[in-house]
Amino acid sequence: MKSNVLKKPLSLCGVLLSLVVAGLAFAASDVDLQQSPEVSATAEGQINMPKQQEKMALNYVNQPPMIPHSIDGYQVTKNTNRCLQCHGVDTYRTTGAPRISPTHFMDSDGKVLGNVAPRRYFCLQCHVPQTDAAPIIGNNFQPMQGFGH
């Protein structure tokens, strides 16, 4: 009688190693922050993001401000950050854009740095383009009292 050949399952370490390698490959690539602001508002699943709009109200204390303009073609890589061309401490006065917050220059220990802290360098980790699109999944979220619409 033939015994069944046991198939060795992929170990947890193998799975984790695969995820780490995939993450490193993604992190090493240049991240292009392309959006689709020119799409039709009637295309299923897509929204029309205006090039510039009024700032939307925040919904809670310390909410990262939303981006009130298109970010089509913006790039944030380890070598360049397009956002800082307008919002940087050396440029905001001439562009009229809001200045990057002083908190973005602090490391995780609260030490003030001369440049944007690495953990705050990739703007879209916290800041998102604003839109009045309906939620993808229904919810009953209400802004904190005194905030929102």
Q: Which positions ≥6 away from 38 have C-beta within 8 Å? A: 48, 72
The answer to whether the annotation marks 149 as part of a ligand binding site is no
The answer to whether the annotation marks 13 as part of a ligand binding site is no
Burial of 73 (0-12, 13-18, 19+ CB in 10 A): exposed
First vs last Cα of the chain: how many Å apart?
Answer: 74
The answer to whether the annotation marks 123 as part of a ligand binding site is yes
* Of 38, 47, 18, nearest in space to 134 by CA: 47
The answer to whether the annotation marks 69 as part of a ligand binding site is yes
Q: Which positions ≥6 away from 143 have C-beta within 8 Å? A: 57, 58, 59, 60, 149
CA torsion through residues 50, 51, 54, 57, sign: positive
Residues annotated within the binding site are: 69, 83, 86-87, 104, 123, 126-127
Residues annotated within the binding site for heme c are: 69, 83, 86-87, 104, 123, 126-127
